[in-house]
Structure 1
Amino acid sequence: MRGPLTLTIGAKTALAVAVAAVTVSTVIGVLVHHLTQAHQLATARSELDQQLVDDAYDYAAARKSPARINPADLPEPVALAVRNGVRVTYLQGGTRPVLWAAAEVSDHEVLALSRSYAPEARSLAVLDRTLCAVGTAATVLVSLAGLLLGVRMGRRAEVAARTAEDIANGDLDARVRPGGRDEIARLSAAVDTMADALGARLEAERRVTADIAHELRTPVAGMSTAVGLLPPGPATDLVGRSVRNLCALVENVLEVARLDARAATVDTEERQVSAMVRRAVTALEGIEVRVTADTVVTTDPRRVERILANLASNALRHGSPPVEVEVDGPTVRVRDHGPGFQPGLFAVLHTSGPQRFRTTVPGTGTGLGLTIAVGQARLLDARLTFRNHPEGGAEAELSLPERPSE
């Protein structure tokens, strides 16, 4: 079944202008028709009545006149009115309208005068056709003007809406740059102001994130050195793991800050895909690597290994074993056998730009690992997609370009 028809603001404006034009044209046409009709009838009645008076004088003076005495075709309403002592004018309708004027000149003698009303009827018909033609032309012209106005308004509103969508998708440089002083211009100016404020706030947030991570590097490095001086033991191992996790967190935050500021650089070289995969998962346990087809690509191997290590670590942390890494030419797939991605995460994972710590459902978020993977893939002009495998589990697919982007 098809959904309900949705009209754009341009179509609504054009339709409203067309309806208003039709209404105004119809009202004016009907009004002019009735006024003209009443004026014609009043004029014709007055002239015929005056002629009847003149004929009555001629009849009294025994002079010839076009008036008739007691005509056989005298309409019954006229005869009744005259018998009551009223001088009357009467329009007899039909295909051939006739205008009558009659008066009583003596006992039971009716002097009547008639003439065809067809000329007035034809004149009124011509007027109606003229009004219809003029009204139609005016309606078409006004409707076209309304359509042009509506299309212009619709395009301006569409530009503002698309710009707002681009800003929501991470393009903080998008601007409407409105012109004019109407409501749509005010809306467009508000969108630009919102983008400026959002960009300034995000920039301040990036700077704070980078400054905090940079300031933490020195004390964390000192902690790493101090751990090396502790005597071996379970407590030392626990502190050492915590310090290493803290070091990795600080480096991840710095990497996100560099990706946010677009200050990261790419150093490309030719590497075999399977070799990069094995290097990426060397320090991880429970990873099965399967090479279906291998190839050599020109890319930044450090960043590719970082992406694959983050994907594999995320699969081990949030999925269930076994975690499989398949190399299929320039494409690498990382799959676990856990519950899969939450539906609310797909919109976050496929948005433009790193979204650190972003969460869409309670207790579930992308964290820094996937954030860095998404940012690094875009930096390498690679395609990173996420989906739930038909047989169960979450699957991430990294497609590397076989040639470096310019």
Structure 2
Amino acid sequence: MGLRTKIGVAITATAAVVSVLIGLVVHHRTALNQLETARESLDQRVVSAAEDHAAGLDRPRVILNPHRLPEPLRRAVDRGRRATYLDRSGPEPTLWAATRVGDDVVVLKHPYTRQIRNLEELDEVLWLAGGIGTALAGVVGVALATVAGRRLNASARTAERIADGDLTARLRPRGGKDELARLIHAVNTMADALAARLQAEREVTANIAHELRTPVAGLVAAAELLPPGRPTELVRERSHRVRTLMEDVLEVARLDADAEHAETDVRALGELTRRAVRAAGSGEKVEVRVVRDRLVETDARRVERILANLVTNAFRHGSGQVVAEVDDGVIRICDRGPGFPEQLLSHGPQRFRTGSRAGLGLGLTIAVGQARVLGARLTFTNPPGGGAEAVLDLSDAIRDVDVDAASSAPPDDGD
């Protein structure tokens, strides 16, 4: 049940309860007032009738010494009291009044039907007014809840966009100082602060990489001049690793700045996958399955970069056989390892945050950035059977040619 429905139901229920309570109070007070007025009127008449009877004058509607008298009224008269009593035991309610004059009992009675009918009509009016009031309250409640719900939904969608990495997302400020206005201001302030911190982090990282570029290049060149030996191999390996890390950081900086642009041509996806696997140095360790090959118009270098990073990540964090499957514009890289961390599945790859001790998270961050440049979709899942699966979807780049069908078509004889 959504917030709008909950608020609407709550306001409607509250209005209904208030209407019922007001109706009960009005009904009760009206009934008491009617009965009190009728009793006073009949009591005055029985007093006048008693005076007339004492003077020897009996009015036509006066009943003397009746055989049937309501028991509560009879007990009151026997005690010498003047009393009134509403009798509801008969087919029609009747109001009685009685008093004793000497040895005689003077009695008057009057039908109470009109008062009961008036009370029933009042109840109908109260029910109608209560129903209309409840309906109006429900409509107003739903309208207010809808306005509030839209603003809350907009806040939630903006927060989700920010969580997904869109740091330009903002909520439109609205007038007022209510809780929703404060929420909008807080979300926008949070987004500004987060964007500023991330931008500062990116600038610092990129500046450090730029400053280290020349020294690292000199270090690599110097390592090549060292005499052969095990220490030299270790120095060369570490220097090349530092250079690779620096180049990755610079690539991430260019992707963050949207300075990368795809240069496309038409390629067979199966061959692109095989080249990427070979480029990762894992040609013999990765099983490449081509279920259905397609021609795609894309930037081959960037696709190979993405796949090479995915394969490298699969070997670094996974275990067992790594499979690269090509099927109709979609490439899947699967392994049998422990799977991707929950943080990565929820928020995507983040630089310097991997959820494990190995790696810095730059490889998958670069893969996501390059996929964004290509206009492709790169998703990460943990299949039910175990392991990890990265899916690069290039379906939008397909150029409507089945490679297998094209290769099996008969050649054109020409003129």
Determine helix, strand or coil for the equivalent of 1:73. coil
The CA distance in 2 between the partners of 1:254 and 1:178, in whole Å, is 37
Task: Please report how far the alpha carbon of residue 395 of structure 1 lies from its aligned counterpart in structure 2 after TM superposition.
Answer: 4.5
What is residue 226 of structure 1 aligned with on the other side? 222
Aligned 8 A contact 1:278 1:289 in 2? no
Where do residues 13-32 of structure 1 align in structure 2 (5 Å cutoff)? Answer: 13-32=7-26
Equivalent pair of 2:210/2:250 in contact (CA under 8 Å): yes
| Counterpart for residue 141 of structure 1 | 136
Counterpart check, 1:248 vs 2:247: no
What SS does the corresponding residue of 1:172 show, helix, strand or coil? coil
- Aligned positions of 1:265-280 closer than 5 A: 265-280=261-276
1:46–1:273 Cα change, 3 Å: closer
Alignment of 1:8-47 (within 5 A): 8-47=2-41
Aligned-partner SS, 1:103: strand
Q: How far 1:329 sits from its partner (Å)?
A: 6.0
1:86 aligns with 2:81: yes
Partner of 2:345: 347
Select which of 30, 45, 48 maps to 2:42: 48
Structure 2 unaligned blocks of 5 or more? 400-415
Q: TM-score, normalised by structure 2?
A: 0.85
Q: Which AA in structure 1 matches 2:362?
A: L
Distance 1:34 1:278, change over 3 A: closer
The code of the aligned residue for 1:78 comes to L
TM-score of the two chains, using structure 1 as the length reference: 0.87
8 Å contact kept, 1:345–1:366:
no
The answer on whether the counterparts of 2:80 and 2:100 sit within 8 Å (CA) in structure 1 is: yes
- Deviation digits for residues 288-318 of structure 1 (CA, Å, limit 9, x no counterpart): 5647355543222221222222223333433
AA partner of residue 116 (structure 2): A
Q: What is the CA-CA distance between 1:335 and the residue it aligns to?
A: 4.5
- Contact 2:294–2:398, Cα closer than 8 Å, also in 1: no
**Cα distance, 1:10 vs. partner?**
2.0
Question: What number of residue pairs does the alignment pair up?
Answer: 393
Contact conserved, 1:177 with 1:189, CA < 8 A, in 2? Answer: no
Give the alignment partner of residue 187 of structure 1, picking from 179, 183, 187. Answer: 183
Does residue 62 in structure 1 map to residue 56 in structure 2? yes
- Alpha-carbon shift at residue 384 of structure 1 (Å): 3.0
Query: Equivalent residue of 1:359, what SS?
Result: coil
Shift of 1:265: 1.8
Percent of aligned pairs sharing the same letter? 50
Q: Deviation per CA, 1:198-246: give whole Å up to 9, x if none.
A: 1111111111111111111111111122223323333323222222111
Q: Distance in 2 between matches of 1:9 and 1:198?
A: 29
Following TM superposition, by how much is the alpha carbon of 1:324 offset from its aligned partner in structure 2, in angstroms? 4.8
Alignment deviations for residues 31-73 of structure 1 (CA, whole Å, 9 cap, x no partner):
1112211111121111112112222232233334121220222
3-state SS in 2 of match to 1:262: coil
AA aligned to 2:165 is G
Match of 1:127 among 122, 131, 139: 122
Mapped pair 1:206 → 2:202: yes
8 Å CA contact retained: 1:381, 1:401: no
RMSD: 2.8
Paired position in structure 2 for 1:317: 316
Q: Which amino acid aligns with 1:88?
A: A
In structure 1, list runs of 5 or more residues that go unmatched. Answer: 1-6
- Indicate how the Cα distance of structure 1 residues 365 and 67 shifts in structure 2: closer, same or farther if over 3 A, else same: farther
Can you list the C-alpha shifts for 1:318-367, whole angstroms capped at 9, x where unaligned? 3446555455564444445x52524526505x73xx5212233x436672
* Correspondence for 1:284 among 281, 286, 292: 281
Work out whether 1:161 is the aligned partner of 2:156: yes
